[in-house]
Chain A
């Protein structure tokens, strides 16, 4: 097991070091010298999402740590309540928690005089010198040579001892399977410092602080709608952990032209303005329908008479509302007149439907979006929490972010996922989802003979990307939203294929149970129920399919009589 000693590095600090790591008095053992190598810092920066998981609660963090080697750690919570949790000893009670304090000049552990510019610097130091800790930190391993973990009996033993829950088993198995996370190798076995490694741009020091709304790419950051989260609040929390209250929508909000996805048409057109005006006119059909859905979104109760999944039913009702209004408005003489006067270009009858759809999304769907998403997060809270937990577990096993050939695309993919979430119109969301797919393909490179690669390559690559997605819960909701709102015809085509694949990848992340061996054999009743639910839902859109199919059990033919 690697236990880095304070005296492992004794090179004298440079002037740059002194500037970069200003130290308060009280730090012991020539701390500057400890960090004269940048390897620990780079490793921490590259694995930041493995060790820094703000939304993980202490109980789960403890459960993870109990499985990992001594010296393993996690940073959880949000500023100012951020804490370092350290596995300090072999027994389950030996998980210590330290408050991380923020000062204008940097961060430090409570009861320590040592102050560093940010968390990675502080942890890098603590990996070499324990300061107030009972032991030095063991850093996550970015890369371990393939095959060398499976044969390590020490590690196998270590991992098997404390297995007590399902989540823990996942971590275990992935740990063994994919060589990531906290290793027990010596520093000499860490990856060689190749040029490629240093060509990687250092990641932002605290990516988890950057929420959807703080991201400059997200137009919603600048508007005053209900969905704006406060920095430091649990901006990407899941479900019931959402910190903002249920929005009380006012009538004026219908007129609130605050949101624009940057790639959508810039200025509001006459048609949108006309439909907005209709939605404000109390007695109009549009306004009645709008108010009806809005009331449902902000009420706490679901439909007590409906046995179905409430989130799905809600989305189906949204679709019903939009379809209904689109049909109604396309026949409305005023709408047709406005459409006819829209501009110098020649307008065709077949353009009316799509134009009304776009205007409806802006005038009706957009003002309801914050409330709709809040409701969906609440209804899906449990599933999203599990998805997030499994995602974190898979991250630990997935190795460093830098290992995917799609690394150079990853920042772009994250930006697109943020756009996807920020967008309102289903069509726009689909376009962005397909753009992410293109990025994933681009990261794969070509196959043999320059043939494009198929699902054998694409699905694992997409899954890997989603494992590193900073807001996987929102992506899950985006996918479900689109699956319910798209036309049935579209679901058979390319959009349907990729939506299915995204849903599948997310499902895989949320349900993967490697400890059961072959996944289909181990399909839990819960997983079967979920598949059945999916099946039933999709079958609703299938005009020609008999409904009997929807109720088939998902027994697995693989389990019996395997040749």
Chain B
């Protein structure tokens, strides 16, 4: 079975739960003997997808504004980017739109973009409507899920969907069609970008 290493970059404001999502994803395989990473900023997990093994190399980024200029070093060469926002904080959704814009301008051309609205267990204090976020994600052809790292909701589904969208090795990447082709949609309507 072919093993593919997929670099995945995590983006989003500080405190939205980026590393919690990944931690939840790798938790069951977080055996020091199996997954000997030294910390949670970089973690890996291998899953089977159809007739391939996908080894996710997950690169976390610091969400603080002062470190934003460093992001290109992290999303460079990524097969996918997971942009996380907090459904209880409207401003984190605005930040997400900026990340989409930055990836569109500077990210890898065929990067798969996934949007994760985290903390969906806190519906009482929700500020971002699921419908709005879904519409936005659809308009940019991004994966969208609401997740709860706390309650392990939609975490595996998020990565399965990323696996599904990654162009398979035998297909011509340029004609994959399913991927989020940042630079191949120059005429995208403005509304899709905020």
Contacts and interface: CB of A to CB of B under 8 A. Distances in A.
B41 A557 contact: no
Contact of B74 (A500, A539, A562): A500
- Size bracket, chain B contacts: 35 or more
Contacts of B67: 459-460, 504, 508, 519
A437 B19 contact: no
B177 interface: no
B125 interface: no
Given A454-B22, A497-B41, A563 B77 contact: no
A527 B69 contact: yes
Contacts of A507: 69-70
- Majority secondary structure of chain A interface residues (helix, strand, loop or mixed): helix
Contact of A438 (B38, B60, B98): B38
Among B7, B18, B44, B98, residue most surrounded by chain A Cβ atoms (within 10 Å): B98
Interface string A495-518: 001101101100110011010001
Interface string A474-493: 00000000000000000011
A48 B76 CA distance: 40
Contacts, number: 142
Contacts of B176: none
Contacts of B14: 456
A534 B73 contact: yes
B38 A494 contact: yes
A558 B94 CA distance: 11
Given A455-B61, A456-B19, A456-B62, A519 B68 contact: yes
Interface stretch (A62-70, A156-164, A280-288, A547-555): A547-555
A397 to B, nearest CB: 13
Nearest to B68: A520
Given A508-B67, A531-B69, A542-B77, A455 B62 contact: yes
A408 to B, nearest CB: 18
A519 B19 contact: no
Interface in B128-185: none
A441 B39 contact: yes
A526 to B, nearest CB: 12
Interface of A: 434, 437-438, 441, 447, 451-456, 458-460, 492-494, 497-498, 500-501, 503-504, 507-508, 511-512, 514, 518-520, 523, 527, 531, 534-535, 538-539, 542, 545-546, 549, 552, 554-558, 561-563
Interface of B: 5, 7, 10, 14-15, 18-20, 22-23, 37-42, 44, 57, 59-70, 72-74, 76-77, 94, 97-98, 101-102, 104-106, 108-109, 194
Give the 5 A-B residue pairs with the shortest CB-CB distance, closest first: A454-B19, A452-B40, A557-B101, A459-B62, A455-B60
